[in-house]
Structure 1
Amino acid sequence: MKTLSFVIAVALAGGVSTARADDAWQTRVSWQGREASMATRPDGGFVLHTPTGERVLAPQAMRVRTASVLFNGLFALAQDDLSKDSVEAIRDDAFDHGTQIPCHCFETGEKWHYVWTRDLSYAVDLGLAQLDPDRARASLRFKLSTVREPRATQGLFVAQDTGSGGSWPISTDRVVWFLAARHLLDDTSFADDVYRALRDTLTQDRAYVFDDAMGLYRGETSFLDWRQQTYSGWTADNVVFLGQSFALSTNVLHFQALALAASMAEKRDPHAAADYRAQADALKAAINRRFWRDDRGQYMSYIGGADHPVPYEAYDLLGTALAVTSGVADEARAKRALAQYPAWPAGSPVIWPERADVPIYHNRAIWPFVSAYALRAARAVNQPARIAHEVQSLMRGAALAGSNMENYELASQAIHVDEGALSGPVVDSPRQLWSVAGYLSMVTEGVFGLQADGRIEPKLPVSLVPMLFGKGERILLEMHGREVELIRPVDMKGDMLVADSTDTHGVRTIVTLKAVASGGAPLRSDALLYAPATPPAPALEDEGSSWRIERAAGTTLYVNGKRVDASSLPKSRTQTCISVTQLDAKGIESLHSPMVCKGDVAEVAGGWPRTWKAAAAGEYQLAARYANDHGPINTGITAGVQWINIACAGSPGQRVVLTLPHSVGVQESTRGRFRAKQGATCRFSLERGFNMSYLAHFGHYTGGQGGASGPLNPAPVDALLITPLGNDAP
């Protein structure tokens, strides 16, 4: 694919091309044979000329005054996009049969007329809370729900939208809602609802998706919810791996929710505040212990496997940025992780390395809202090269497309690249809400330094000065009765401009800048694009007292989560699980093959309660064979969630939660662990858990089972599968 054979050196050192910065970025941008230009109109508006047409922009409430007509006009374009996303009714074909639902809300985009928890929350966190707080609160309230199933634990919960395998607890990033809500607590009634939802949602997640041994929350990566794009291809028809894996982004979001709970509980319940703070501290430590790869200088996007999690050579920009901005990463790791994350001339990919065998969407793509989070992270660690790069990428994408699009192809920054079966982005939409919010954040926070708490803290790359200031001394932001004016210094020795002095005169805050040497890292431009292909699963051949391992040449073997150089394994009654990866010439690993496990497995069937006798003392893994045909593999709200209550003679009672997501035929559930003494008889009983169909919010769901027809949490459990675990389980 010739579009991917490009020279990385262009524009990476300083963000904006120095050869034509004064010319190309004042009124127009040119890129790979395409050009967009901006002109002012007599009424104070703008007209944008793009490769596909013209867009006329009326004067907007917020304005920037810089030397770049292009920069000024694109700020107006983002506001115009936002006005179109600000609605009084929403709709989706899967809710109320597509009829309109009254809501003073933000809709998701031109193609998506509903409110989705994830998209909305990231957009509000990126600045919509400050720009339209009433609409932001109303939109967030729409995603809160009580429980309609009378037999279930009652409370106020954040809704996890339809998703992989029937939604929560396969996808568990609904706590992103609190990332947005934290900015809107000045409304007492809303704050009370936030705390109630925070308490109930965190309690539920602690019970259902927290793994005590790992110290982490299980579930799919936040936002990267099309599994074939970012996970191994074998997850296409089986999402159990997602439900028992651990994702960086989702765990950082839980850390932030716990930190917010600790803060809000200080005056409401000091004992609870201390408990939340302890949980947050422990989770932060576990994230750094489990996800950090010192050999790569990066946080892995996810790690996986039930009782022997393996590291995955997969990284994502949103998870990395959130680790930096949340404070999960200490200063040294924060700087290193962002510096080691690759950049391409058009922007920063949302995942790396890319997949050569799947279409463009999350794979091989730039997502503007993630670029905005990368910019925020770059400001946190003083990396002006990354700041400038993300500013340029956001401007270029919006200018050439004529709107703030959902995503772009990585090399061309086009909204569609024709490559046959790999063409994409597969799905795209103009005025995508979180992209709009990301662009507005780039201007107000990224360039002018306006923080959510009202502080002004500019960190402006010197490389952007020719575009923004030209030959002038000042640039100005006017928004909501407030003005921020930045004055450039005479001495430009350094690579970043920061505040030297700040004076406020009425509604105007004047910040005199000074140039400093940031010590920030350059952008990484030497990364290979693609990961090696995922190899087939290894085979184990019976050789009497051992298993001979048959695997493809050049693969790396993992045994129970650890790299091992072996051609055979001794047989054992305890579980042994193996997988392989493929290495490229530079030592980058593929994603893992399917896992192959051996060990003594007891099948316990029959009526409930069921009984089983432990042959030896120790820890055991419990799973279930089941089928769940209540929805397609990629969506719905009817993931089966069941508790198995375990009473073993001589031991306290134990409980294991099993998730039985939508399946393609019969398969095995997620796993849990319990302990038994030698010779003890254990009694197993089944208890219904909780899924999203229990929420009143989904009484409006008409796109599948478990919605308007009533709650549905299936329990078609066939045999229980019990396997002894060794001492190396986490």
Structure 2
Amino acid sequence: MRRARIALACAAGLIAGAVQAQAITAKGDVSWNGKTTSMSAQAEGSFVLHAPAGDRSIAAQKLRVHTASPLFDGLFAMAQDDLGHDSVSAIKDGAYDHGREIPCVCFATGDKWPYVWTRDTSYSIDLSLWRIDPERARNSLRFKLSDVREPSVPQGLYVMQDTGSGGSWPISTDRVVWFLGARHLLDDASFADDTWRALKDTLAQDRLYVFDGRLGLYRGETSFLDWREQTYPAWTEKDVRYIGESFALSTNVLHYQALQLAAQLADKKHDAAAKDYRAQADALKQAINAHFWRADRGMYMSYLGPAAMPVDSYDLLGIALAVTTGVADTARARQALANYPAWPAGSPVIWPERKDQPVYHNRAIWPFVSAYSLRAARTVNDAPRIVHEMDSILRGAALASYNMENYELVSQAVHVDEGKLSGPVVNSPRQLWSVAGYLDMVITGVFGVGDDGRIDPKLPASWVAPLFGDKPSITLDLAGQRVTLVRPAKLDGDLLVAQSQQRKGNETTVQLKAMHSGAKPLRMNAPLFGPEMPDAPVVAASAKGWQISFEGKGVLYLDGRRVGPIDGSLAVPKGTSRQCFQLTRVGDGGLESLPSAATCKGDEARLAGAGPWEWKATSDGDTNVSFDYMNNHGPIQTGVTAAVKLLDVSCDGAAPQRIPVVMPHSVGTQRSTTATFSARAGALCRFRLDQGFNMSDLRHNAHYTGEQGGATGPVNDASVEAMLLSPLPGTSTP
């Protein structure tokens, strides 16, 4: 470990001394950290890449660019060549059909991931693949739709949440990313009908099981950042309840986009539901801005803990999606991008980094996220971020000879050796969303081809010399469309935009002009690592209430609400119900660590057994209820058998209440997610757990052979040991 610490320190030291370099040099090559790549143009549109790992021959491709840079032209061909290898007639994964091939004219996720995964495929299609091969894109998306095989639960057509933390959905809830890709492919009537059905059914299901009406947000894990101890507190490695009760920026923005699409499609069908979908989308946008925006950082937080506890952690994909979907207004969009840190090699997918975690999501550049960051930067004319992401995407592909899954943040290497912290832990060549991100960087980033076919170039001035050389123009040949950019007369600015356009048939010629974007410089001086997470707080009874002790500077939270700074000890009055305390450590610049595990004090009622139960309310108002349970139907990091129940609560004098409760895969006996119900003092309440819905109920998962809940039938079960109740203070029941 000492060796790894020294390596980290050396890596951090490189940051201060590094100078951001232009990706393509005047010689037409890429040089970085002592490694160089160049390209030789061959006959009839073919190329040979001369890279550190050796030469790679690249055949001529259908789509072409014509610039002064053989490297730029050849890397565009290389991305298409990578895509050709990812375009398959059969897919396979060890967890499905015992690893046998499944016929599917689809996009495979990458060299090491020859399957179709919901989020990878959907982001890839949204970035560019919908325009490259629309039929294969539809096939791939259709593969991730399923009807229901369990007759006792509501039927419908649903998007599948892939295997994931705690047994998948509803701990992971970003399956709505499917609609981000599908929205481009609705010119096919049959596919549009499937999309509309899946959209209605999936949104209704998520509204029931993962929407928190009090906060107006959807619960669940961050999209794409699904290796929990890399980004969530380390103690979630063995207990994912926290993740299931938390709220992620990216996942909420994806729900916002899906609701917007639902409103648009309902309008086209003259469906009265359009008004409700639009109202839900507007309310969600307001809730995201109210809860995720952190004014002292000028950024949207990556996720919130249960009860909307703020977490001083940020991720680039979530921020980029907030910008490109319009969740962020122009002022916040510019501020968030300007405040998100960058390193000379590129932009990290999370910030701050974790000292105790290897390189994967931590300390890493992911090209597909860089592509979304490029889109966000184009939205607000952030020229420094535009050139930074374009440089990073091109340089990574050139030096690695493939469009790789990820790179280490400081070196942009495909692997660094740092003992237990080595990584990226997994890195796949021709990773589908990296390929799609590269293609989008060229098609949209350089030539400005929009989703609707309009041309809106925003080319950084620093790319003029390598792309144009002595040429008056550069050209992109898409299928049935040609775009020509004409160099500006003067380069008196940092961003080139359209001065005028001429369209003749399928050819568009754009005269460029330079402008000053006025964007702030990149934030290159942020600390690399966040403070180390403290242990759970020590809480002792005292004459003043609960006495919390902590060595060093920290912040104390009570039931998700900030109590205040702590430096030594702090007293908190005892409440009338269970109270849970968490700590963060404060580092340089006031940056807080991830939150500690909770220490809870105070009484709660414990009713043993698996139910049904009866209990008499002790006060007017709301009561929290959870369950001690065990779910051993799969390992905690994967599977499709998170137990999902509906708690039926019937209290005298009140209407029945039905509240979702999730019991994810566990390590021994753990506590379920928390439900909240209302009752009057003295009312007798009766409780029972009814069966809910989980991913094993989907017909498609009959193919799942990795764990339980697959070929032998659905599994939605947990061993319940007791129900626990804790009345909340300061509430009242009408």
TM range (shorter): over 0.9
Q: Which runs of 4+ in 1 moved over 6 A?
A: none
- Retained in 2: the 8 A contact 1:599–1:724? no
Using the alignment, how far apart are the partners of 2:452 and 2:430 within structure 1? Answer: 26
1:410 matches 2:414: no
1:692 matches 2:695: yes
Show the counterpart of 2:564. 564
TM-score, normalised on structure 1?
0.97
Using the alignment, how far apart are the partners of 1:216 and 1:269 within structure 2? Answer: 27
1:629 matches 2:632: yes
Q: How does 1:74-223 map to 2 (within 5 A)?
A: 74-223=75-224
- Retained in 2: the 8 A contact 1:556–1:583? yes
Q: How does 1:62-73 map to 2 (within 5 A)?
A: 62-73=63-74
Show the counterpart of 1:587. 590
Using the alignment, how far apart are the partners of 1:605 and 1:644 within structure 2? Answer: 16
User: Residue type matched to 1:429 in 2?
Assistant: S
With 430-439 and 551-560 compared, the bigger mean Cα shift is at: 551-560
Using the alignment, how far apart are the partners of 1:648 and 1:545 within structure 2? Answer: 36
Show the counterpart of 1:724. 727
Show the counterpart of 1:615. 618
Show the counterpart of 1:16. 22
Q: How does 1:646-685 map to 2 (within 5 A)?
A: 646-685=649-688
Question: RMSD of the TM alignment (CA)?
Answer: 1.4
Show the counterpart of 2:12. 4
- Retained in 1: the 8 A contact 2:483–2:509? yes
Using the alignment, how far apart are the partners of 1:67 and 1:597 within structure 2? Answer: 65
SS at match of 1:553: strand
How far does residue 321 in structure 1 lie from its aligned partner after superposition? 0.1
How far does residue 587 in structure 1 lie from its aligned partner after superposition? 1.2
1:356 matches 2:360: no
- Retained in 1: the 8 A contact 2:15–2:410? no
Using the alignment, how far apart are the partners of 2:17 and 2:485 within structure 1? Answer: 31
How far does residue 607 in structure 1 lie from its aligned partner after superposition? 5.5
Using the alignment, how far apart are the partners of 2:201 and 2:16 within structure 1? Answer: 48
Using the alignment, how far apart are the partners of 1:715 and 1:412 within structure 2? Answer: 46
Show the counterpart of 2:4. none
Unaligned 5+ runs, structure 1: none
Using the alignment, how far apart are the partners of 1:471 and 1:563 within structure 2? Answer: 63
How far does residue 34 in structure 1 lie from its aligned partner after superposition? 1.0
Using the alignment, how far apart are the partners of 1:269 and 1:205 within structure 2? Answer: 24
Using the alignment, how far apart are the partners of 1:10 and 1:66 within structure 2? Answer: 29
Q: How does 1:276-425 map to 2 (within 5 A)?
A: 276-305=277-306, 308-425=307-424
SS at match of 1:519: coil
- Retained in 2: the 8 A contact 1:600–1:724? no
User: Residue type matched to 2:50 in 1?
Assistant: H
2:717 aligned residue (711, 714, 720): 714
Using the alignment, how far apart are the partners of 2:17 and 2:474 within structure 1? Answer: 30
Using the alignment, how far apart are the partners of 2:329 and 2:442 within structure 1? Answer: 27
SS at match of 1:295: coil
Using the alignment, how far apart are the partners of 1:508 and 1:364 within structure 2? Answer: 43
- Retained in 2: the 8 A contact 1:375–1:390? yes
- Retained in 1: the 8 A contact 2:620–2:731? no
How far does residue 570 in structure 1 lie from its aligned partner after superposition? 1.7
Using the alignment, how far apart are the partners of 2:513 and 2:313 within structure 1? Answer: 39
- Retained in 2: the 8 A contact 1:9–1:525? no
SS at match of 2:717: coil
Q: How does 1:513-592 map to 2 (within 5 A)?
A: 513-543=512-542, 546-560=545-559, 561-565=561-565, 567-592=570-595
Q: Which digits, 9 at most, give the CA deviation of each residue in 1:33-87, with x for residues without a partner?
A: 1111111112321000111111100111111111111111100100000000000
With 553-562 and 668-677 compared, the bigger mean Cα shift is at: 553-562
How far does residue 415 in structure 1 lie from its aligned partner after superposition? 0.6
- Retained in 2: the 8 A contact 1:324–1:334? yes
User: Residue type matched to 2:408 in 1?
Assistant: E
User: Residue type matched to 1:6 in 2?
Assistant: L
SS at match of 1:21: coil
Using the alignment, how far apart are the partners of 1:80 and 1:328 within structure 2? Answer: 36
SS at match of 2:676: strand
Show the counterpart of 1:490. 489
Q: Which digits, 9 at most, give the CA deviation of each residue in 1:363-417, with x for residues without a partner?
A: 0000000000000000001011111111110111001110000000001101100
- Retained in 2: the 8 A contact 1:629–1:662? yes
Using the alignment, how far apart are the partners of 1:115 and 1:704 within structure 2? Answer: 18
Show the counterpart of 1:596. 599
- Retained in 2: the 8 A contact 1:575–1:726? no
User: Residue type matched to 1:425 in 2?
Assistant: P
Q: How does 1:205-244 map to 2 (within 5 A)?
A: 205-244=206-245
Using the alignment, how far apart are the partners of 1:607 and 1:467 within structure 2? Answer: 70
Q: Which digits, 9 at most, give the CA deviation of each residue in 1:316-363, with x for residues without a partner?
A: 000000000000000100010011111100000000000000100000
User: Residue type matched to 1:588 in 2?
Assistant: L
- Retained in 2: the 8 A contact 1:258–1:276? yes
Using the alignment, how far apart are the partners of 2:470 and 2:17 within structure 1? Answer: 27
How far does residue 250 in structure 1 lie from its aligned partner after superposition? 0.1
Using the alignment, how far apart are the partners of 2:471 and 2:64 within structure 1? Answer: 18
Q: Which digits, 9 at most, give the CA deviation of each residue in 1:301-328, with x for residues without a partner?
A: 00002xx331111000000000000000
SS at match of 2:184: helix
Show the counterpart of 2:648. 645
User: Residue type matched to 1:211 in 2?
Assistant: D
Show the counterpart of 2:3. none
How far does residue 546 in structure 1 lie from its aligned partner after superposition? 1.4
Q: Which digits, 9 at most, give the CA deviation of each residue in 1:494-541, with x for residues without a partner?
A: 111111111112322100011111112211111000001100111111
How far does residue 286 in structure 1 lie from its aligned partner after superposition? 0.2
- Retained in 2: the 8 A contact 1:237–1:633? yes
How far does residue 559 in structure 1 lie from its aligned partner after superposition? 2.1
How far does residue 8 in structure 1 lie from its aligned partner after superposition? 4.8
User: Residue type matched to 2:376 in 1?
Assistant: A
Aligned residue pair count = 720
Using the alignment, how far apart are the partners of 1:217 and 1:591 within structure 2? Answer: 21
SS at match of 1:723: strand
How far does residue 9 in structure 1 lie from its aligned partner after superposition? 7.0
SS at match of 1:202: helix
Using the alignment, how far apart are the partners of 2:156 and 2:53 within structure 1? Answer: 50
With 657-666 and 512-521 compared, the bigger mean Cα shift is at: 512-521
Shift in CA distance, 317/607, structure 1 to aligned 2, threshold 3 Å: closer
Using the alignment, how far apart are the partners of 2:563 and 2:56 within structure 1? Answer: 56
SS at match of 1:201: helix
Using the alignment, how far apart are the partners of 1:465 and 1:234 within structure 2? Answer: 49
Using the alignment, how far apart are the partners of 1:547 and 1:528 within structure 2? Answer: 35
Using the alignment, how far apart are the partners of 1:460 and 1:607 within structure 2? Answer: 63
Q: Which digits, 9 at most, give the CA deviation of each residue in 1:272-300, with x for residues without a partner?
A: 00000000000000000000001100000
How far does residue 600 in structure 1 lie from its aligned partner after superposition? 2.5
Show the counterpart of 1:249. 250
User: Residue type matched to 2:22 in 1?
Assistant: V
- Retained in 1: the 8 A contact 2:609–2:720? no
Using the alignment, how far apart are the partners of 1:601 and 1:7 within structure 2? Answer: 51
Shift in CA distance, 565/393, structure 1 to aligned 2, threshold 3 Å: closer
SS at match of 2:115: coil
User: Residue type matched to 1:585 in 2?
Assistant: D
Show the counterpart of 2:454. 455
Using the alignment, how far apart are the partners of 2:154 and 2:122 within structure 1? Answer: 25
With 596-605 and 67-76 compared, the bigger mean Cα shift is at: 596-605
- Retained in 1: the 8 A contact 2:577–2:604? no
SS at match of 2:662: strand
How far does residue 550 in structure 1 lie from its aligned partner after superposition? 1.9
SS at match of 2:93: coil
Using the alignment, how far apart are the partners of 1:548 and 1:515 within structure 2? Answer: 62
